[in-house]
């Protein structure tokens, strides 16, 4: 049976149907039009732990804490071909819960993220979105995840619930990003198997000797 490509979307907003949700649903709808399956994970209002640098994930292959979304997300990434994360802008930064989730998931199970296309979506009332957007992209660049771009930075504006849908350019940017992601995924999986570049072994270097 042919593998259906699937994209995992993470809503980093505590508001289930706020403007971040609206932006991600625009992405999901366009991906579906391109024949790409989607699944949305909501962070919601439940606590998300921060990494405590215990190193146990190296032994377990998952985060030692199993009382929040982290390990559920890594399990879903095993069956996903790409990732989109979205967050509101808080003080020029993504939601702290989303940052904790992504940091722990990427550190505890990096092999499930390697080489898979990724995109970030920042939502804001007025300013700070570009810093939020750039912050969310940083882990992806460390895991050889191709960054999916659009006609502009993946930013949508709106304050009250539903206002993001009134940002015509922002919604178009979401659809264009989804089209670009679908195009890239189909090229990577052109013959039913993923094809990634061969890479040199990692050569870590510390500056303090």
**DSSP letter string over 161-209?**
TTGGGG-HHHHHHHHHHHHHHHHHHHHHTTTSS------PPP----S--
pLDDT tens string for the chain (209 positions)? 568 999 999 999 999 999 999 999 999 999 999 999 999 999 999 899 999 999 999 999 999 999 999 999 999 999 999 999 999 999 999 999 999 999 999 999 999 999 999 999 999 999 999 999 999 999 999 999 999 999 999 999 999 999 999 999 999 999 999 999 999 999 999 998 899 999 999 899 988 87
User: Hey, CA dihedral for 78, 84, 90, 93, is it positive or negative?
Assistant: positive
Predicted TM-score (pTM) of this structure: 0.96
Element (H, E) at 136: helix 129-142
Instruction: Return the HEC string of 70-135.
Output: HHHHHHHHHCCCEEEEEEEEECCEECHHHHHHHHHHHHHCHHHCCCCCEEEEEEECCCCHHHHHHH
Query: Span 6-188: which CATH code?
Result: 3.40.50.360
Instruction: Give the pairing type, strands 93-94 and 155-157.
Output: unpaired
- Tell me the C-alpha distance between 144 and 146, whole Å: 6
Query: What pLDDT sits at residue 2?
Result: 65
Q: What is the pLDDT at residue 167?
A: 98
Annotated domain spans of the chain: 6-188
What pLDDT does residue 207 have?
A: 87
Tokens matching residue 23: 């932006």
List 122's β-bridge partners, or say none. Answer: 87, 155
Question: What is the reported pLDDT for 209?
Answer: 73
């Amino acid at each position: 049976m042919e593998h259906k490509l699937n994209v995992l979307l993470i809503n980093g907003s505590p508001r289930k149907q706020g403007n971040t949700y609206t932006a991600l649903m625009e992405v999901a709808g366009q991906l579906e039009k391109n024949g790409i399956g989607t699944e949305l994970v909501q962070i919601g209002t439940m606590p998300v732990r921060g990494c405590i640098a215990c190193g146990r994930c190296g032994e377990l292959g998952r985060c030692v804490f199993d009382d929040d979304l982290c390990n559920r997300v890594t399990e879903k990434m095993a069956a996903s071909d790409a990732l989109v994360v979205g967050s509101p802008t808080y003080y020029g930064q993504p939601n702290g819960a989303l940052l904790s989730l992504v940091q722990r998931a990427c550190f505890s199970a990096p092999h499930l993220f390697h080489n898979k296309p990724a995109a970030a979506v920042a939502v804001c009332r007025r300013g700070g979105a570009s810093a939020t957007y750039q912050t969310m992209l940083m882990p992806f660049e460390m895991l050889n995840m191709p960054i999916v771009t659009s006609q502009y930075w993946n930013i949508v504006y709106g304050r009250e619930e539903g206002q993001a849908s009134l940002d015509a350019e922002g919604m178009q940017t979401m659809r264009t990003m989804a089209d670009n992601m679908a195009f890239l995924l189909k090229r990577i999986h052109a013959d039913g198997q993923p094809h990634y570049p061969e890479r040199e072994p990692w050569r870590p270097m510390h500056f303090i000797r």
